[in-house]
A and B are shown apart, each in its own frame.
Chain A
Amino acid sequence: MNEPTPAPADGLAAGLAAEYALIYAYGRAGVELGDKAALDIAADAENTHRDLRDRLTEYMAGLGQLPPPPEAAYTVVDPLTNEGEAVALLTKLEDATAATWRTVVSATAGDDRRHAVDGLSNAATRAAVWRRWRGEQKAAATFPGA
């Protein structure tokens, strides 16, 4: 049996790295949330990102690729002292994750690209839900990730 090879850095591995960071951010920002609706949104979003991470690592392993591990630690540089700042951070990171996945789309093909579009769609949807919670009339991005 062949040894797994490292996944190409500009392919699904790049999206997976963004998902790791986002999952960490939900854990870090979640402690600042108090509103019931915000807590529910955060729980749903974190679950979707964890599910996506698990599907990706399983898919990449099935291809004989070695998925990159998460980093040992992440530092949040934005202010994070209250609920508003926490939601702003999560919205910003969802948008950034969408941008990462959009770049992965053009570096991939076939089922790899399908996973990239899934990642982009999930991040775009979570960002829209956060903007709706914030009361923004224009919640969905017209061209997510662009």
Chain B
Amino acid sequence: MPDSPRRRGTSRRVVLLGGLAVLSAVSTACAPGEAHVVEHGLDGALLTARTLLARYDATLAAGGVDRVELLTTLRADHEAHAAELALHIGPGASRITGAAPAEPDTMKSLRKAESAARKEAVEQCVASDEPQAARLLASIAACRAAHWELLG
């Protein structure tokens, strides 16, 4: 976000990248991997992340799809989401498992799944009472939105 000299009472010219270092420091303070407060609403988010992971695994294992490199990178995102959510949830996370459908996905059905998963994460984020969990769910929703775009 730009620094605003106007708020300091000086000129009205703003340095576009002047605020990046500050932003980075703020976001790093709540980055994945820190100690977190458990929020039980994260269970649903973990179930979806592991289900998406299983669907990408099944689709990649079945072969016959284009853009394998893309699917591999998107799969890795879901794996990272699941790991981070499990860290928040704690020992109970191991009981939450996702299952792929019987038939491998197509690019179209994966895109549809990403869209549904994004909407779900938005609702989970809005419902969250815990700021760290809300930020995590917001980032997961945003990542899924980017996946939807890249699969188009």
Contact residues of A with B, CB < 8 Å? 14, 17-18, 21, 24-25, 71-78, 92-93, 96-103, 105-106, 109-110, 113-114, 116-117, 120-125, 127-129, 132, 137-146
Contacts and interface: CB of A to CB of B under 8 A. Distances in A.
A102 B32 CA distance: 13
A128 B15 contact: no
Nearest to A17: B1
A102 B84 CA distance: 17
B53 to A, nearest CB: 13
B125 interface: yes
Contacts of B147: 140
Interface residues of B, number: 50
Given A92-B20, A146-B32, 12 more contacts: A17-B2, A25-B16, A71-B4, A71-B13, A77-B18, A110-B126, A124-B143, A124-B146, A129-B150, A140-B146, A140-B147, A144-B146
Contact of B4 (A17, A106, A142, A145): A17
10 closest residue pairs by CB, A with B: A106-B131, A121-B145, A124-B142, A128-B146, A140-B146, A72-B12, A144-B142, A143-B139, A121-B142, A105-B138
A93 to B, nearest CB: 7
A97 B28 CA distance: 15
B17 A78 contact: yes
Nearest to B139: A143
Nearest to B24: A99
A75 B15 contact: yes
Interface of B: 1-2, 4, 6, 12-20, 23-24, 26-28, 30-32, 69, 73-74, 76-77, 80-81, 84, 118, 122, 125-126, 131-132, 134-136, 138-143, 145-150
B45 to A, nearest CB: 13
B149 A125 contact: yes
28 contacts: A71-B2, A73-B12, A73-B13, A75-B13, A76-B16, A77-B18, A96-B23, A99-B23, A100-B23, A102-B138, A103-B23, A105-B134, A110-B126, A116-B138, A117-B125, A120-B138, A120-B142, A121-B141, A121-B142, A124-B142, A140-B147, A142-B81, A143-B31, A143-B143, A145-B142, A146-B27, A146-B32, A146-B139
